[in-house]
Structure 1
Amino acid sequence: MSAVALGYPLPTLLNWSGEFNRPEWHFAGSHIAKLESLLAVIEEMLSRDDVDGGADDDDLAVLVDAYDIWFQLPPSVLIQRYHQLNNEANQRLRKQWQASAHQASTSSSSSSSSSSSSNNFPIPPPKQSIIVTTAKDCQPDSESGSNPHYTHWPSSPMPPDLYGPETDTILPLLFDPARKYKKIRPRCINSGMIMGTMSSLRQVLRRCKRKIASVALSGRQLWSDQALLGEVLGDQEIWREWVTQQLSSSWNGSASRYDLTLLSPEVRDIATKALLGEQFEFGIGLDYSFATIPATCSAEEDGYFVKLNDANAVRAESLKAGVPDGPRIHTIPKELVKAKDDRGGPLSQTSWGNVPLYTDFYFGVVPVGIHHNAYIDGLKPWRLSNWWKLMWFYPRLRDLVAAQLQPPSGDGSVADLKPLLNMSSHGNGGEQDLVYWPPQTQRSKKQVTVFEPAQGERPARLVPIAWDGVCQKGSTPWYEALFGDGKGPLEV
């Protein structure tokens, strides 16, 4: 409902009415199906070229958890931050490659051929195209059936004093398994949101599927999609480590001098397979800055709702959160300034500085959404029940949803559509001429759909589902639970 109100393409539900009753699998049925179903729908859409479905390699896909994530900012902000995070990661990777090449040139002989060796290393720095949200606690580990090799993951690029002098210190809170990580800069994986291009996600998810099959053949099960994806990311980080610390740093202009026997077992395993042609680089990276949809677990008191134009309120909430050096956010995010709807859309009258926005005061950021996985002291169910009315759009929710569900005027051609984002006018990190459009399926009719995989001779399909079919929980009618305005069912 929050996504619809903000103008996102209407969601496709995966594993709707799925059956995961496999006790011996622990959480494997539902957790692993999260990644398998995303692969299935991506494979299906990339194989189509009809107007009723289909997608292109560079189209963006966003996978979010179903029950505990709310959006608060429009899709243009999410897309801009996706590109910004990728550009920042690409800069870090270029510096890492350059530093390794410099090490090679300074450690080699002073001949002219050796001094130019750093310029022709045949493996270019990777480019990031997938973003996953982060966690402060590196869990789960090998007990899940997967081994993410967290020790090989890079440190957070955020300031080393982000949480003050105790930054990156695990607090001695023996009976509080979440808050003891409060001061840790997030550098591990949380799979609450996964975002990337269709083609890059397909590659990663195929890799996950091969790992699932391999584990199944050995008689074991995996129970965590987070750890499984983390293992693919961990393999990638080990590969990058080997390339920069062994190959690039010993490159003499024509070859690298490396000794596999000197490597740790996990690095040697990846290096051996890479030399035989196996792919480990997938362009996966993390949202270190909490810009997208950060987890609130271990950040229970780090954020709250505030009007950014109210400097006194921002200062008071920052103090309440314990930010050591005063407010770190002083103005509306630039992406929101650029998000102004200049074609009279439902959000065009929103004064972003004067509506309450959930803000993380340590990062000084208004995230695109909130992941309600803060569970200590029953916070998750309490916030899901009590914070909905604090969302900025709540007083206008019925009208926003009804307006966003209106079909496009005209015949549904591009000329009649409003893009989600036109980066030729907004500009962001060199991506100057990208225009993001709603999916083909929503250019004539806006409906929530359920992905049904192929069965027998019946092909896979996207089946429309009504709100009465989606919102079934509890005895209170869904429109009263969500709108709370006493106006009855939604009319579009």
Structure 2
Amino acid sequence: MSTTSRWKDRIYESIGLKEWKYDPLNQGDDPDRQDHQQQPRNDASPVTPWLRSKVWKVGAAVFVVFLFLVLVFRPSSTEISNLIFNPEIRSSYFYLVLPAATGSPEFCKTLFSASVLGYPTARIVNWKKTFDNSDLPHGGHDLAKVQGIHDFLKQLGSSTDNDLILIADGYDTWFQLRPSVLIDRYYAINDRVNKRLYRELGSKAGISQRVIFSAQKRCSSDNLDDLECDAIPESGLPDDVYGPRTDKNGDGFGTNRQRYLNAGTIMGHIGDVRKIFEAAVEIAKENQFKTDTEIFARIFGKQEYQRELIRLRHRDLSQKSWFSRLNPRGDITSPHPKRERPAMGPPPDYGIGLDYYGEISQPAEYDEGDVAWVAHNSSQKIGKMAQRTGIPTDVPEEVQRSTPPFWTPDYTGFVQAPAEQDWSQVPLFTNLWTGVTPVAVRQSPAEGSKTNPVVSQTWNQSWFFPYLRQMLVAHSKAPRMPHAVVQGIDGRTEEWWGPNDGRGGVFIETGSLPGEWQFWHGVCGAEDVAKEALADGRGPWRNPRWMLDHNNDVAADQLKDWYTQLYAVEDGTTVWGEKPPE
């Protein structure tokens, strides 16, 4: 026996493991042979009490060293529990839901903008349904979103309660920033509000903000005494954000602060969002609402009325007197001949809050003079365009650290986009009063079917527009990867994955998960989409085929087409993923 073998045996014997040894794999044996069997060893030795004693001594020594390190470095109890019970990286699912009935150019702008930025494969709700009720806005499409999304959330079940969901209007949403920015801002907005709620309501109330809706400048109800108009808190924006005319209604709401709920964008954990939609379905049965915004605004109004009661109970008499003098709303709980009051019994708190600054989405309703497409590499230029002094002009930190704009999961090298550019060098839709660049832009109708021209007529100013088709090709063949990697509220790294990620398509909600798969060319392959959304003169969108067919003859034709395409790309007569000219 060699010296090395004897040394190994002594180590095994010292810790009582010799009887558990295995022979090293014989590299000369064929691993695929079925008659190769492991031969038992005959040199096992029993574990004696003396050996057990040595094992206990070694274990005790390791424990003493561990205890010494804990006392020296004194980590917090949270750090210790995270180290022991929680993995270093937490992985969860992130859903994107788009209510839409047809593959119109506006829907395809929403879908394509989300796709080039790396959002999860979209789930489409209410597809191919008809909405022709002349008494309701958009034929009843807005109202039908409540039931359709409710049914989808119910299908997902309680196992998805901690997953994130973003619900965005399928016809008027343009994405411009990465999913990681969205999730970072979701956490930051909630953190700011929850610190305030803790101060105002106390720890015993157990109330927190967990679901964020868009905010708009006008109440959804024409009766300003309704809860959704009267009981809600003041806007989180500065009270002079629009100068001396802030909150003066004389100019068509343009200088009103964003204060009222808008249901165009909703984000939160699925368990919380599901409860809100369950309540919305019940409220819709009892009242005559025309839109989803009206329903959710009523729920928000009831929640805020109840929170005001808790605030009053939380303050002592001196605080109540001082607060009533400073509170512009006055005491909304006092008797009033016209103001609505909720029925007896407090409603549950749904954790609803509003995106007052438009960090997640910026509705363009009544905001015609607020916004513009600007690059942030010139503070002087932004300063000249700004509507007020002192607005931030630099690209926010969470945007800077996100994946650069023109990065794609392409491995061919044929996406001819300026990959070296960073976020300061591309035009971003920016609020000129606040300096905020939203994750998504919403071109809500300002009056009837009228849309904000700054939004509806400037699709070609979006940073990805000149390279849209090439970037879509790259993403249609991307490997599966996290859509966002962020730092969670507890400091741990979080990976957010799509639950059923396909490439180059969407899942149509059918009543059973994950839904019916449709390629992009099945929903956005029309000629009008090519002219308005792609607008590159290269015809309708067609998904590229990247896998060889199982039929050898078909596969041979595919290879021939690919080589033809490769030569055409090198000649500059086509772009990668597009059929070359005949």
Range into which the TM-score falls when normalised by the shorter chain: 0.7 to 0.9
Pick from 345, 366, 373: which aligns with 2:444?
373
User: 1:394 corresponds to which residue?
Assistant: 465
CA distance in 2, matches of 1:268, 1:380: 33
Please report how far the alpha carbon of residue 437 of structure 1 lies from its aligned counterpart in structure 2 after TM superposition. 2.1
The amino acid that maps onto 1:330 is: T
The amino acid that maps onto 1:340 is: T
User: 1:101 corresponds to which residue?
Assistant: none
Gaps of 5+ in 2: 1-111, 318-332, 410-416, 545-582
Post-superposition Cα deviations, 1:30-54, rounded to whole Å, max 9, x if no partner, equal: 222112111111111226xxxxxxx
User: 1:485 corresponds to which residue?
Assistant: 536
The answer to whether the 8 Å contact 1:148/1:227 transfers is no
Matches within 5 A, 1:122-271: 122-124=204-206, 126-141=207-222, 147-171=226-250, 173=251, 180-215=252-287, 221-246=288-313, 249=316, 270=342
The answer to whether the 8 Å contact 1:300/1:374 transfers is no
The yes-or-no answer on 1:435 pairing with 2:494 is: yes
The yes-or-no answer on 1:65 pairing with 2:129 is: no
User: 1:284 corresponds to which residue?
Assistant: 352
CA distance in 2, matches of 1:128, 1:43: 22
Please report how far the alpha carbon of residue 208 of structure 1 lies from its aligned counterpart in structure 2 after TM superposition. 0.8
Secondary structure of the equivalent of 1:92?
A: helix
The amino acid that maps onto 2:397 is: K
Please report how far the alpha carbon of residue 57 of structure 1 lies from its aligned counterpart in structure 2 after TM superposition. 1.0
Change in Cα spacing, 1:270 to 1:378, as seen in structure 2 (3 Å) is closer
Please report how far the alpha carbon of residue 61 of structure 1 lies from its aligned counterpart in structure 2 after TM superposition. 1.0
User: 1:29 corresponds to which residue?
Assistant: 140
The answer to whether the 8 Å contact 1:13/1:449 transfers is yes
User: 2:572 corresponds to which residue?
Assistant: none
The amino acid that maps onto 2:293 is: Q
Determine which structure has greater relative contact order: mean sequence separation of CA pairs < 8 Å that are 6+ residues apart, divided by chain length: 1
Please report how far the alpha carbon of residue 450 of structure 1 lies from its aligned counterpart in structure 2 after TM superposition. 1.1
The amino acid that maps onto 1:329 is: P
CA distance in 1, matches of 2:377, 2:490: 30
The amino acid that maps onto 1:401 is: L
The answer to whether the 8 Å contact 1:68/1:384 transfers is no
Q: Alpha carbon RMSD of aligned pairs, Å?
A: 3.1
Change in Cα spacing, 1:29 to 1:297, as seen in structure 2 (3 Å) is closer
Change in Cα spacing, 1:361 to 1:262, as seen in structure 2 (3 Å) is closer
User: 2:487 corresponds to which residue?
Assistant: 423
Secondary structure of the equivalent of 1:40?
A: helix
Post-superposition Cα deviations, 1:3-22, rounded to whole Å, max 9, x if no partner, equal: 00111112111111112334
Secondary structure of the equivalent of 1:18?
A: coil
Secondary structure of the equivalent of 2:284?
A: helix
Please report how far the alpha carbon of residue 270 of structure 1 lies from its aligned counterpart in structure 2 after TM superposition. 4.1
Post-superposition Cα deviations, 1:56-106, rounded to whole Å, max 9, x if no partner, equal: 2111111111111101111111111111111111112112125xxxxxxxx
User: 1:452 corresponds to which residue?
Assistant: 510
User: 2:193 corresponds to which residue?
Assistant: 89
The yes-or-no answer on 1:468 pairing with 2:521 is: yes
Change in Cα spacing, 1:170 to 1:328, as seen in structure 2 (3 Å) is same
The yes-or-no answer on 1:3 pairing with 2:114 is: yes
Give the alignment's TM-score, normalised by structure 2: 0.64
User: 1:110 corresponds to which residue?
Assistant: none
Gaps of 5+ in 1: 48-54, 99-120, 174-179, 216-220, 251-260, 425-429, 454-458
Please report how far the alpha carbon of residue 467 of structure 1 lies from its aligned counterpart in structure 2 after TM superposition. 2.4
Please report how far the alpha carbon of residue 240 of structure 1 lies from its aligned counterpart in structure 2 after TM superposition. 0.4
State, as a whole percentage, how many aligned pairs show the same letter: 26
The amino acid that maps onto 2:273 is: L
CA distance in 1, matches of 2:117, 2:128: 26
Please report how far the alpha carbon of residue 382 of structure 1 lies from its aligned counterpart in structure 2 after TM superposition. 4.6
Number of matched pairs: 409
Please report how far the alpha carbon of residue 265 of structure 1 lies from its aligned counterpart in structure 2 after TM superposition. 8.8
Secondary structure of the equivalent of 2:515?
A: strand
Please report how far the alpha carbon of residue 231 of structure 1 lies from its aligned counterpart in structure 2 after TM superposition. 0.5
The yes-or-no answer on 1:16 pairing with 2:127 is: yes
CA distance in 2, matches of 1:342, 1:166: 37
Change in Cα spacing, 1:471 to 1:312, as seen in structure 2 (3 Å) is same
| Residue range with higher mean Cα deviation, 265-274 or 78-87 | 265-274
Give the alignment's TM-score, normalised by structure 1: 0.75
The yes-or-no answer on 1:355 pairing with 2:426 is: yes
The amino acid that maps onto 2:475 is: Q
| Residue range with higher mean Cα deviation, 157-166 or 68-77 | 157-166
The answer to whether the 8 Å contact 2:168/2:264 transfers is yes
Secondary structure of the equivalent of 1:362?
A: coil
Matches within 5 A, 1:39-50: 39-46=150-157
